[in-house]
A and B are shown apart, each in its own frame.
Chain A
Amino acid sequence: MVFRQRGRPDVRAVDGVGFSVAPGETVGLVGESGCGKSVTSLAVMGLLPRRGVRVEGSVAFDGTELLTLPPDKLRTLRGRELAVVFQDPMTSLNPVVPIGRQVTEVLVRHRGLNEGEARREAGDLLRRVGIPDPSRRLREYPHQLSGGMRQRALIATALACRPRLLIADEPTTALDVTIQAQILELLKTLVAESGTALILITHDLGVVAGMCDTVHVMYAGRIVERAPRHDLFGAPRHPYTGGLLASVPRLDQPRGTRLAPIAGSPRDTIAWARGCAFAPRCPNRVDECTCATPELLGGRHGLRCFNPLRSGPVQEVAPR
């Protein structure tokens, strides 16, 4: 995926990212700001502007190629089979339309219900996502709801057509932890009950640890490590993954150990074409890292690194 802007060199935001999600599975995309995780989700949904962006590759949904699908067919699919929940519900909900209309709109458009049926169904949906007094809330506008309530309303619209794929892009980042716990439980139940495939995009390793079956760690537009969550957290192999885990304080560990930050900042990268983008910050850097491009190798536990961690720094710190 290449972003173009006149007079500037092209920006390669995402490069060679590949993953698959099965029904009932939760896949996590983790990385810091600017690593390309959100852009990936927009590309999957076909929500990127058509001008100024070049998207290459393939997004296959149940055998249908989404990238080449005509816009009207894609619109039918989106909303019914594919749904997305963004970080900030205030920008995703229309501020001048009551919540109820925004939910029923989807039901009328995609499930062909009439207004009355759609209203009953919408009330039901709001109740399912844990909004008390749904009949009153349906008449209210987004600004009358609290942040957690808005996010739940947004999830309700996303769930309205029982999508088979849900992309949640930082769904709880703007929320408080107690509300976050409610929303995550809701998503978990949804995946377990309806067999929805979930792509969860987040920067929070804790959220990933509790939610995702498979985790993809992204850095500078590429996946640097991919593993089932137990493998990833138990024995991270990429120095970036290890570094991330070592740099967050953990509630359940004794205090007094100094945090081990990753040196530099996400700005300090080199182009993937010339080597490993993480090399300037990497404690395990060897000569090869700055002259050759590492490939994503390995099956279940994929890794893009010339000199991976053997016993991760996290394991040394972690008791039990």
Chain B
Amino acid sequence: MTSDGRADPGGPPPPDGAAASAGPAPSNGAAVPGEPLLSVRGLKVHFPIRKGTLLQRVVGHVRAVDGVDLEVRRGMTYGLVGESGCGKSTLGKAVLRLVEPTAGTVVFDGVDLGGQGPEPMRRLRRNMQMVFQDPLASLDPRQSVESALTEPLRAHGFPGDRQGRVRELLDIVGLPAGAAGRYPHEFSGGQRQRVGIARAIALNPDLIIADEPVSALDVSIQAQIVNLLEDLQEQLGLTYVVVAHDLAVVRHVSDVIGVMYLGALVEEAPSDELYAEPLHPYTIALMSAIPIPDPEVEERRRRILLTGDLPSPVDVPSGCRFHTRCPFRQPTRCAEESPDLREMRPGRKVACHWAEEIATGTIRAAASAQDPTATEVGTPAVK
């Protein structure tokens, strides 16, 4: 618990400082800490809300991503988790500039993406690809697999035998060579996702952003795709940013996990440590809410129930953005002062004023949130 970890300023911190602090983070054995491939500083994506047909006055902003700093090292997997509407998908897209960031910088492999014109950006994109949630929606229904896979090769002037490359790609992702002539609707969900992955790796990218890569798939198929992503990372040295709401899956594939709430990172930790000791109250509640397929464990667990719903990103609460639902809320600081994402101990970053006190048990969750028989927190009218 170093006090200098708190000295994180609100503005862009020196990149080398952050890199050094992430260095000694206990990594998962096999993962070799590489140099940072992707570094995001102060990224904001605000969507204006307009009113009126003629004047189109801006009456407010949806603060989808509201100041995110993160760093992804080469060959590693960074997992972004959070509930729907927390901005995790927008963040993924903003990194690739598929949506234009409002503020902040994205540095990919030493190149600042912000200053790039359309053509240089297009060329850079061959090194950063995306895998989408629903392959049926992201693949053209009237385009054969072969055509879908040759398209990126053509667009980026892939030299050599394109058909050979298509066969090679199908083989890598575990589809039969005969799949080339078929259309998306002829495949099952898992196979379609394999096509989506094949298209993403067609140009040998460095970085793949996978947005909910398995959540549209049946349980028995999810594991196949998770294993495929892991194999590809090993074979091709890929770096992943995996965006998903399923914390169990994210934890399985990621080296580092960032937890998002209402447009901001509230906690970042090596994935082994996150379940063992979540530090932010939101992470604690999120972890406790995830059902575990084991009745013995389920009966022993204590749920921390959150009150109410996610606030609107148009109207982000003052102070700590989580204070309206936080079971550990304190009378001071929480409602007034916005906590920075600070390094509480090596590798563990948390945006909570009271993380130390919560970790040591000095501050406990509100009684109603812990009571296993309470149906609903904060509604005393429950009979």
Contact = CB atoms under 8 A, between A and B. Distances in A.
Given A130-B379, A189-B373, A256-B29, A204 B291 contact: yes
B68 interface: no
B292 A251 contact: yes
- Minimum-distance CB pairs A-B, first 5: A206-B291, A130-B376, A261-B223, A249-B252, A247-B223
A259 B226 contact: yes
What class of interface size applies to chain B in its complex with A? 35 or more
Interface of B: 28-29, 83-84, 188-191, 218-224, 226-227, 230, 245, 247-249, 251-252, 271-272, 275, 285-299, 303, 305-306, 308-310, 373-379, 381-383
B249 A249 contact: yes
Contacts of B292: 206, 209-210, 250-252
B291 A209 contact: yes
A181 interface: yes
Interface stretch (A2-10, A42-50, A262-270): A262-270
Interface in A197-250: 203-210, 229-230, 233-234, 243-250
Contacts of A230: 295-296
A179 B309 contact: yes
Contact of A189 (B227, B230, B309, B375): B375
A254 to B, nearest CB: 8
A94 interface: no
What class of interface size applies to chain A in its complex with B? 35 or more
Contacts of B191: 265
B248 A251 contact: yes
A210 B381 contact: no
B220 A266 contact: yes
A105 interface: no
A233 B295 contact: yes
A181, A205, A234, A256: which has the most chain B beta carbons within 10 Å?
A181
A318 B289 CA distance: 21
Contact of A255 (B223, B245, B272, B290): B272
A39 interface: no
A259 B188 contact: no
A209 B295 contact: yes
B262 to A, nearest CB: 13
Contacts of A127: 379, 381-382
B219 A205 contact: yes
A220 B331 CA distance: 55
Nearest to A318: B294
A177 B373 contact: no
B376 A251 contact: no
A148 B306 CA distance: 12
A163 B146 CA distance: 55
Nearest to B371: A185
Interface in A265-314: 265-267, 281
B309 A250 contact: no
Contacts of A281: 220
9 contacts: A132-B378, A178-B286, A206-B298, A210-B292, A249-B226, A250-B292, A255-B252, A260-B223, A318-B294
B227 A259 contact: yes
A149 B245 CA distance: 20
A123 to B, nearest CB: 10
B220 A261 contact: yes
A230 B298 CA distance: 11
A87 interface: no
B248 A250 contact: yes
A269 to B, nearest CB: 12
A68 interface: no
B293 A181 contact: no
A251 B275 contact: yes
A180 interface: yes
Contacts of B287: 251
Nearest to A189: B375
B290 to A, nearest CB: 5
Contacts of A208: 293
A267 B306 CA distance: 39
A127, A248, A258: which has the most chain B beta carbons within 10 Å?
A248
Contacts of B252: 249, 255, 259
Contacts of B84: 176
Contacts of B297: 209, 252
A183 to B, nearest CB: 10
Given A176-B84, A210-B292, A261-B226, 6 more contacts: A182-B377, A186-B375, A203-B218, A249-B249, A266-B218, A281-B220
